[in-house]
A and B are shown apart, each in its own frame.
Chain A
Amino acid sequence: MVQLIRSLGAYGMREILSVGRMGIFFLYTMRGMFVAPGKFWPVVKHIEFIGTKSIFVIGFTAAFSGMVLGLQGYYTLSKFASEGLLGSAVALTLIRELGPVLTALMVSGRAGSAITAEIGIMRIEEQIDALDCMAIDPYAYMITPRFIACLIALPLLTAFCDVVGIFGGYAIGVDLLGVSAGAFWDGVYSSVVWKDVYMGIIKSAVFSVLIIWICTYKGFYSGVDEGSFGPEQVSRATTDAVVISSISILVSDYIITSIML
């Protein structure tokens, strides 16, 4: 019994310390925006990695999600003889919910995991220590450019996802199932208001902070708690990063939606 209480206490302390460390990590990263070194080219490089290289997978996911929405929406709406509302249903679902969430989940799985692994390897190979010893702030040098890049890339990818998804829904609804093109686009124009677009942008901004914060943090501290640095710690950090960021995306999505609706 005493052993159980001791273990629970130790676990609790470790988690509290971890939360504190994560907060400090975030503050150091934010501070990194105002100190040297120059970040323009590193940010461009990371935008290419997080954004450009994710376009194909996001486009593919968005197209098929939009097509499924078109299909499901048509059969549901046709029961009420409201097929003309298909454009509204597809656009609103994508812009308010699916676009930001799907994009964030895909970026977390593709780029987030790679970022955690890359930083984790830098940790176990003493490259982060080397930066410290060169009097170079590792947060400003490594983390802040990735933060800025993700903050820029994710909302743009989300917009791309929304557009591709709507066209996917259009292809199924209009071209395959015979909904009027005019009715489809009229539904999109009349139902989507700026508030929906803002909601999507705010969600993708929040998701981008969560993804990059969790993924860089997990890589930066991989193996530190265990006190041993090896491939196992990096693989565990990578798995943790993807799982925690995916859960955080879904939970924060609910919170933002409940606040903004």
Chain B
Amino acid sequence: MPSADLIEVRGLKSFYRGRQVLFDVTFGIPSHQVTVIMGASGCGKTTLLRHLIGLKCTGQGQILVDGEDLGSFSEGLLKSYRRRIGVLFQGGALFNSMSLRENIAVPLKVHTKLADETIRIMTVMKLNMVGLSDFSEFMPSQLSGGMRKRAGLARALAMDPEILFVDEPSSGLDPITAAGLDRLLLDLRETLGMTVVVVTHELESAFKIADRIVMMDKGRVMALGAPDEVRRSTDERVLQFLNREADTHMINIDSYYESLLDKE
């Protein structure tokens, strides 16, 4: 399904406590497709996601949403953008003091004037989508990690967002539940035309759902394209990641001793 880029990341640099974590990251997120941002742990995937959802300021570089720079958005524009997106955080980020039903009802109660009964029906529908309709009155602390994640996804879908950002959807899930979640993300793209951005390091899941893959390494985009293009890459690091090979670089003994003695 050919489509224009809904979000464009141009030359994005990001710093954390003086240390650079993203280096000139440039890529596009096409609309109505599933884009997977993948890479090893600590490569800057989640930092990039926080930039994309407007939780981290874009100091250098640009993130263009419909051609407008996210970094220059006023508070009102940023709110409008956030009403178009749904976000599933790594741990689910459910409100501990509320039941699942109440969690999912939060955005509906704040942003709509729907009757309580309508909101109740909608929350049951969303929980049904993620297979948790029998747990609507459970508190988050009474659920497993995987169930919390699925409930978080139901809340992210509560307002039927145009763009869905998902951080590590399959990590910690059993293969059957993970496959179900992958199927759900594909269904959302196919039936609702949702733009889905997934951050993951799960190879199997990534290649199964992705229309476009952004592979990152040490804060840089290492490979970019359709899953087949990434698979055909001859880049050493890409191959190492795809073939699940451990790092074998040797430690320079002199620099190691220096680092031990360095007081700074």
Q: Do A and B come from one complex?
A: yes
Knowing A132-B55, A133-B53, A135-B83, say if A126 contacts B110 (CB, 8 Å). no
Flag if A130 contacts B111 (CB, 8 Å).
no
* Cα separation A132 to B90 with both chains bound (whole Å): 16
Known: A133-B55, A133-B85, A227-B17. A127 touches B93 (CB 8 A): yes
- Residues from chain A with a CB closer than 8 A to the CB of B111 are 134-136
Measured between beta carbons, the chain A residues less than 8 angstroms from B55 are 129, 132-133
B167 to chain A, nearest CB (A): 9
Contact present for A129 and B83 (CB under 8 Å): no
CB-nearest residue of chain A relative to B111?
A135
Interface residues on B, range: 20 to 34
Chain A interface size range: 10 to 19
Q: How many Å lie between the Cα of A73 and that of B85 in the bound state?
A: 66
Whether a CB of chain A sits under 8 angstroms from the CB of B23 is no
Question: In the complex, which residues 5-34 of chain A have their Cβ closer than 8 Å to any Cβ of chain B?
Answer: none
A212 to B97: give the CA distance in the assembly, Å: 20
Tell me whether A134 and B93 are in contact in the complex, defined as CB-CB below 8 angstroms, given that A36-B110, A129-B55, A141-B110 are known contacts: no
Would you give the 0/1 interface string for B55-83, flagging 1 where the beta carbon is closer than 8 Å to chain A?
A: 10000000000000000000000011011
Check if B110 sits within 8 Å of A227, measured CB to CB.
no
A48 at the interface (CB under 8 A from B): no
Instruction: Across the interface, name the chain A residue whose C-beta is closest to B55.
Output: A129
When the two chains form the complex, which single residue of B83, B91, B107, B155 contacts A126, counting CB atoms closer than 8 Å? B91
**Does B110 lie within 8 Å of A134, measured CB to CB?**
yes
Choose one: A118, A125, A136, A227; the contact of B107 (CB below 8 Å): A136
Which residues A109-141 have CB closer than 8 A to chain B? 118, 121-122, 125-127, 129-130, 132-136, 141
B95 interfacial contact with A, CB 8 Å: yes
Task: Specify which chain B residues have a CB less than 8 angstroms from the CB of A121 in the assembled complex.
Answer: 96
A178 at the interface (CB under 8 A from B): no
B196 interface hit (Cβ, 8 Å) = no
Q: Is A37 in the interface zone, CB < 8 Å from B?
A: yes
A133 touches B16 (CB 8 A): no
| Contact indicator B106/A136 (Cβ below 8 Å) | yes
Residue of B nearest to A129 (CB): B55
Across the interface, A132 reaches (CB within 8 A) one of B17, B82, B94, B106, namely B82
Q: Bound complex: CA of A129 vs CA of B155, how far in Å? A: 14
Query: Measured between C-beta atoms, what is the minimum distance from A32 to chain B in Å?
Result: 13
Give the distance to chain B from A135, nearest Cβ to Cβ, in Å. Answer: 4
How far is B97's CA from A133's CA once the two chains are assembled, in angstroms?
19
- Complex CA distance for A133 and B79, rounded to whole angstroms: 8
Q: Are B93 and A136 in contact (CB under 8 A)?
A: no
- Cβ B79 vs Cβ A126 within 8 A: no
Q: Is B241 an interface residue (CB 8 A)?
A: no
Given the known interface contacts A227-B16, A227-B17, the answer about A130 and B110 at a Cβ–Cβ threshold of 8 Å is: no
- Does B89 count as interface, using CB distance less than 8 angstroms? yes
Interface contact A129-B107, CB-CB below 8 Å: no
Measured between beta carbons, the chain A residues less than 8 angstroms from B54 are 132-133
B36 contacts A by Cβ under 8 Å = no
List residues of chain A with CB within 8 A of the CB of B199. none
By beta carbon, the residue of chain B nearest A133 is B87
Given A36-B110, A134-B82, A136-B110, A127 and B16 contact (CB-CB distance below 8 Å): no
Point out the residues of chain B lying under 8 angstroms from A136, CB to CB. 106-107, 110-111
B109 is an interface residue with CB less than 8 A from chain A: yes
- Give the Cβ gap from B184 to chain A, nearest Cβ, in Å: 19
The 8 Å CB contact of A134, one of B80, B94, B107, is: B107
Q: Which residues of B contact A227 (CB under 8 A)?
A: 16-17
Which residues of chain A are near B93, meaning CB under 8 Å? 125-127, 129-130
A window 192-219: CB within 8 A of B: none
Task: Give chain A residues whose Cβ lies under 8 Å from the Cβ of B86.
Answer: 133
CA distance A129 to B55 in the complex (A): 7
Nearest-CB distance from A230 to chain B (Å)?
A: 13
Chain B: residues with CB nearer than 8 A to chain A?
A: 16-17, 53-55, 79-80, 82-83, 85-87, 89-91, 93-97, 106-107, 109-111, 155, 159
Known: A125-B91, A136-B107, A136-B111. 12 other contacts (CB 8 A): A37-B110, A122-B95, A125-B93, A126-B89, A126-B90, A126-B93, A129-B55, A130-B93, A133-B53, A134-B107, A135-B79, A135-B111
Interface residues, chain A, with chain B CB atoms under 8 Å away: 36-37, 118, 121-122, 125-127, 129-130, 132-136, 141, 227
The 8 nearest A-B residue pairs measured at CB? A130-B93, A135-B82, A133-B87, A126-B93, A37-B110, A134-B107, A135-B83, A135-B79
6 contacts between A and B (CB under 8 A): A126-B89, A129-B55, A129-B93, A133-B86, A135-B80, A136-B106
